[in-house]
Amino acid sequence: MNSYTIPNDEIQAAAALLRAGETVAFPTETVYGLGADASNPLAVRKIFEIKGRPNYHPLIVHIAAASQLPAWAQSIPDAAWRLAETFWPGPLTLILQRSSQVPNEVTGGQDTVGLRVPDHPVATALLRAFGGGIAAPSANRFGQVSPTTAQHVHDKLGSRVGMILDGGPCRIGVESTIVSLAHGEAVLLRPGGLSVEAIEDTLNKKILLAQPAASKVHASGMLASHYAPTTPIEIHPADELWRRAHQLANLGYKVAVLNLSDNSKRVGSGGITSFQMPLLADEYGRELYATLHRIDHARFDRLLAEAPPSTQEWVAINDRMRRAAQGTANENKISVAGDLPAHDGIKK
């Protein structure tokens, strides 16, 4: 568990801002969240305005303990209590039938609500001081890379946020796993910081995988394009990665390469910078977003990433990389496989 704490007077000041209808960015074990009083529709709308987030895209409500579930959800199944008892506080969001007190602004007009108890001492202290639920998506511009440090929040949102609580780097670095229990069966809506196997072991049954087009429930991070850096990103198998890097570098592109294999001797030409990523999935996840922020800050023209392994522990990483690549593919009219853009110029 992250042992980082901040002075109580800062926590109390942040709680007072939330009660006044303002926003506060705060750390969780996954990423930094942009929080507002979940019971205050006007405050919640500020989240959407600051992020540029579509108002139909639902938010996750953070609560201090599972005992607060009945205030936010109804018809809570036994499976939800079992998962909450096992994994909260932690990187698991449960989608349940909303209670009558939950504003439409939080749920995107759906009859369900996402709830989670975060596992970070600063988040815990804030939730206890505030006393209510805090609606909090990631503290970034909508669709962009999530922040894992307070500096990331400051760089992207700055003075638009009422207050930023600095709780150090996030321990997990990718968002929570989202499981819906709203319609009987347990359905995985988004892989994340908690493994599917752990959930299935607790429930003693397989969970279903959501089909986004047919899903009755929409939740954070389910869009095909999400988590995208401003630098166009392509994903390639290891044996194609460096061929593509040199192809772009020879055209004058400034190229960043996220590699898992030891390919340091293959850099070989100007214009290419290699970022060696960890070989373990949890360590890779902890570093991924921070590395993407660094690459954006350095103004590379293209980011090439070595395709992560396809094993179960890499599911969340593959999900984030695929959605990030889809985002830049849409914006720049390039394919995930990496077709060259129609022009020969360098993106300025």
Give the 3-state secondary structure of residue 106: helix
Q: Where are the domains of the chain?
A: 8-209, 233-332
Question: Could you report the per-residue pLDDT of 258-267, keeping only the tens digit for each?
Answer: 999 876 556 6
Total-model pTM = 0.89
Backbone angles phi, psi at 117, to 5 degrees: -110, 110
Question: Could you report the per-residue pLDDT of 191-226, keeping only the tens digit for each?
Answer: 999 999 999 999 999 999 876 554 555 565 555 455
Question: Could you report the per-residue pLDDT of 61-74, keeping only the tens digit for each?
Answer: 999 999 999 999 99
Q: Which fold has domain 8-209?
A: DHBP synthase (3.90.870)
Distances, alpha carbon 112 to alpha carbons 57, 97, 186, 316, in Å: 12, 4, 14, 23
Domains 8-209 and 233-332 share a fold: no
Radius of gyration of the CA atoms of the chain, in A: 20
Contact of 123 with 62, CB cutoff 8 Å: yes
233-332: CATH number: 3.40.50.11030
Contacts of residue 326, Cβ cutoff 8 Å, sequence gap at least 6? 224, 225, 228, 336
Nearest partner of 348 among 230, 246, 233, 235, judged by Cα:
230
DSSP string, 83-95: HHHHH-SSSEEEE
- Torsion-angle region of residue 82: left (phi > 0), alpha (psi -120 to 50) or beta? alpha
Is residue 332 very low, low, confident or very high in pLDDT (cuts 50, 70, 90)? very low
Between CA 192 and CA 49 the distance in angstroms is 26
